[in-house]
A and B are shown apart, each in its own frame.
Chain A
Amino acid sequence: MKKNFKRRSMLYIPGNNPAMLQQGGVYGADSILLDLEDAVALNQKDAARILVRNMLKSINFYNSEVSVRVNPLNTPFGKADLEAIVPLQPDSIRIPKTETAEQLAELIETIEKIEDEHNLTHDKMTIHAMIETALGVQNVFEIAKFSKRVDAITIGGQDLTADMNIASTKDGGGIDFARKRIIMAAKANNIDAIDTVFVDIDDDEGLKKDAAYAKKIGFTGKAVINPRQIEPIHDIYSPTDEEIRKATKVYKAFVKNTKEGIGVFAVDGKMVDRPVVQRAEHILSLADIDLQSFE
């Protein structure tokens, strides 16, 4: 069940910071991650849980997807996080340090039990699996395909380099294989792949380079840790005027030809079949152009 959120940018907000939480929706990020895990100190976990629970009930995050990163089930906090958050049905729940499909199974079972207790269906809230270890990278395809509820895979670069015992570098060389493997698993299952954060918030050029590379290799979006990073990333993920023009042409022709019962046709001398139309649809949706308007 692929959701309709764009997810070009995902803004991380520490769950124990009320000032940041209450302003979370104003920066225009496609996705907002309310974090109960790594951004929150051990002695603040309960405070963060209560705060995020209350914020979910009262703050307007406007059009952004709202995701909550809970603590892993094998910590003292994970279960309590799920019990507090799942009933509120944020758009998605992010599971850190996912390593095996079995882990995911246990997690989904726990979630569905809580949903049953609250008379909620199992098809609204989705799950983002976060890959942060070598084992997770190796098992990512199994994880990605495990459940229809998993609609995004993300990579946690900081934890991954720590797990691999290598230095984290700006060019991301050490995690390049991991990124690509994760992307492939996501694409094979037709779900989103979200890249890791670029930690130097003062390095605009570095961010752009990193995001451009992420886009090139297939990530559908990137995590951000400061609202300043949102616009450059949206710029990179937004189609150019030329791309929009071409896509419009293709889609218009598609609609016309479909009405006339023609499945394969040419635009500007190039064959247009289903994959080309899909790419055009994707570009138009990134450009916020309503496909219905072509009918």
Chain B
Amino acid sequence: MKNSLGKEIPEYIEGIGKLEAYQGAWTKLNKGWMNERTLPPPIKAQKPHFNKKCNSLEEAIKQCNPYDGMTISFHHHLRGGDYLLINTVKLLSKLGIKNICLASSSLTTAHDGLLPYLKDGTITKIFSSGIRGKLGQAISYGILDTPVTIHSHGGRARAIQTGRIKIDLAIIAASAADSEGNATGSHGKSAFGSIGYAMIDSWYASRVIVVTDNMVEYPCVPPSIRQNYVDFVVKIDSIGDAKKIASGTTRITKSPLDLRIAQMAAEAITNSAFFKEGFSFQVGAGGASLAVAKFVRKEMKKQDIKGSFLLGGVTSVLVDMLEEGLFKSIFDVQSFDAEVSSSILNNTYHIEIPSGLYANPFNAGCMTNKLDVVVLGALEIDTNFNINVITGNDGNIRGASGGHSDTASGAQLTVVVCPSFRGRIPIVKEKVHTVVTPGESVDILVTERGICVNPNKPYLEKELIKAGLNIKNIADLAKEVEAITGTPKPIETLDRIVGIVEYRDGTIIDTIKQTKGDIDSLF
């Protein structure tokens, strides 16, 4: 069946079930209510003074009666410094468990070590927002029989509520926890800030194990994960590599090109009608996106404009803006550097939020619905403003859907920043290889060679032209880029689908085809 972007989507996939075709960013949600079946959270029971502490992760897992075909879940707040996911899979493999469905909120380069477990059938299904490194390549080369499902952050919450992802065992890493399982990521030697992605896992998983390297005296505050959802608690030596947890992608770029793009984006934002007292703001991490915050901050001070809330994806730059009084509050679903953790602890208006409140479309209004301006990156963008953030120029899975389509759908002004080409590879082109965010939710593209405005916002284009900005037609820009880079050879793919890209409402917006690569070369 064809979806509204003209992509061919299978009606059914063995191991996943019936699929729904994408029909538009808001088509499915127009009713104002959903007639989807939802899965009730499990009802547990526990006798008083039960000792939840287990001596080892293995013991805790055994207590949870693992079985073939189970679904396990993790959060990715430990980013590149995560040990826990692989250690858990190792243990389950040791116990002879097979056909596991892995539902981590995302997967990073820390998870390349999963390759042998995909090859030997320990893991046969994956739900994730993103897959990088060798893992992404192996999946693109076809190592799994069942296609992976790529979902957005908001979409994951929806999927868990509807039972599309039915978690049997949630393993929740925490930088501090108490004996009852109250847990947080906001302090401790391995602090990672907000634990927003794990909250829904704790509410819906049949069994929940909290794993920490820092057992604190009862009660652990703040109790981001609450004891009444937690079955077992384990203390280990280290939940991850603290240095890699506090990742380096949060320093403002010094690249002249990224700074140039960021400056142009900030100009576009501050010359739009959305830059006014009380506006809300979100920026992606790294590259030009974060630098935009620096320029917008300057302009806010110059024009004496105060915003309402910041959302994200939070780095120390945003914390500085909160402390300067430029914004009233931060809603934090994921913290990108260590300094952010102390702001969560000490500032009442730095508020930790779960992924559903952040971006799940199946509720009475998530935070992305209230967003005014968002700045996002892109791996590719086409002349219809559709965006690819999942596959690279070789067609292999290497990125993440993340909050991209969630924020783009809700924000009044969605600004995408990227160079028009990278090296000799076009980024602005006729058609992207994989659509993750539909063009209808993207308003402006800012590149070093000009700003393109979506034709569905003619008044915005007029506004920006009046402000003297370098506005270009996106088709012209794509041609200009092609004249510089030449036309790349089309990506060679096979017919087999190795991944489905789920839009936030559960419909399928695109599929990822297998590429011609040698799986064995990755081992």
Contact = CB atoms under 8 A, between A and B. Distances in A.
B259 A228 contact: yes
Interface string B243-273: 0000000000000110110010000000000
Contact of B257 (A23, A58, A59, A231): A23
Nearest to B449: A26
Nearest to A288: B468
Interface of A: 19, 22-23, 26-27, 58-60, 226-228, 231
Interface residues of B, number: 10
Contacts of A227: 256, 259-260
B406 interface: no
Contact of B448 (A19, A26, A228): A26
A77 to B, nearest CB: 28
A228 B484 CA distance: 24
B484 A22 contact: yes
A227 B254 CA distance: 11
B257 to A, nearest CB: 6
Contacts of A60: 480, 484
Contacts of B484: 22, 58-60
Nearest to A59: B484
Interface in B441-464: 448-449
A107 B64 CA distance: 85
Contact of B256 (A22, A59, A228): A228
Nearest to B256: A227
Interface string B469-486: 000000000001000100
17 contacts: A23-B256, A23-B257, A23-B448, A26-B257, A26-B260, A26-B448, A26-B449, A27-B256, A27-B260, A58-B484, A60-B484, A226-B256, A227-B256, A227-B259, A227-B260, A228-B256, A228-B259
Contacts of A19: 423
Contacts of A27: 256, 260
Contacts of A226: 256
Contacts of A59: 484
A60 B259 CA distance: 20
B251 to A, nearest CB: 14
Contacts of B263: 231
A231 B264 CA distance: 12
Contacts of B257: 23, 26
If over half of B's interface residues share one DSSP class (helix, strand or loop), that class is named, otherwise mixed; here it is helix
Interface of B: 256-257, 259-260, 263, 423, 448-449, 480, 484
A19 to B, nearest CB: 8
Q: Which 4 A-B pairs have the closest CB atoms?
A: A26-B448, A227-B256, A23-B257, A27-B260
Which residue of B256, B423, B449 has the most chain A CB atoms within 10 A of its CB atom? B256
Contacts of B256: 23, 27, 226-228
A175 B449 CA distance: 38
A252 B75 CA distance: 68
A238 to B, nearest CB: 13
B157 to A, nearest CB: 40
Given A23-B448, A228-B259, 13 more contacts: A22-B484, A23-B257, A26-B257, A26-B260, A27-B256, A58-B484, A59-B484, A60-B484, A226-B256, A227-B256, A227-B259, A228-B256, A231-B263
Contacts of A26: 257, 260, 448-449
Contacts of B448: 23, 26
A202 to B, nearest CB: 9
A281 to B, nearest CB: 22
Nearest to A227: B256
A10 to B, nearest CB: 15
A231 B298 CA distance: 14
Nearest to B257: A23
A30 B455 CA distance: 31
A27 B262 CA distance: 12
Which residue of A19, A23, A59, A60 has the most chain B CB atoms within 10 A of its CB atom? A23
A26 B446 CA distance: 12
Contacts of B449: 26
Nearest to A22: B484
A97 to B, nearest CB: 28
A22 B486 CA distance: 14
Contacts of A58: 484
A10 B158 CA distance: 54
A58 B259 CA distance: 25
Nearest to B468: A288
A27 B256 CA distance: 8
Nearest to B421: A22
B25 to A, nearest CB: 32
A135 to B, nearest CB: 36
Contacts of A228: 256, 259
A231 B480 CA distance: 25
A283 B173 CA distance: 63
Nearest to A226: B256
B321 to A, nearest CB: 20
A227 B256 CA distance: 6
B387 to A, nearest CB: 22
B425 to A, nearest CB: 13
A228 B260 CA distance: 8
A228 B448 CA distance: 14
Nearest to B447: A26
A226 B448 CA distance: 16
A176 B513 CA distance: 66
B492 to A, nearest CB: 27
Contacts of B260: 26-27, 227
Contacts of B480: 60
A150 B423 CA distance: 37
A61 B79 CA distance: 41
Nearest to A27: B260
Which residue of B260, B423, B484 has the most chain A CB atoms within 10 A of its CB atom? B260
A226 B257 CA distance: 10
B35 to A, nearest CB: 50
A233 to B, nearest CB: 15
A59 B480 CA distance: 11
B433 to A, nearest CB: 23
A231 to B, nearest CB: 8
A60 B480 CA distance: 9
Nearest to A26: B448
A226 B480 CA distance: 25
Contacts of B423: 19
Nearest to B480: A60
A84 B242 CA distance: 55
A241 to B, nearest CB: 15
Contacts of A231: 263
A27 B449 CA distance: 9
B39 to A, nearest CB: 51
Which residue of A26, A59, A227 has the most chain B CB atoms within 10 A of its CB atom? A26
Nearest to B419: A23
B274 to A, nearest CB: 24
A49 to B, nearest CB: 21
B233 to A, nearest CB: 48
Nearest to B485: A22
A46 B57 CA distance: 63
A28 to B, nearest CB: 8
A53 to B, nearest CB: 17
A59 B483 CA distance: 9
A265 B484 CA distance: 54
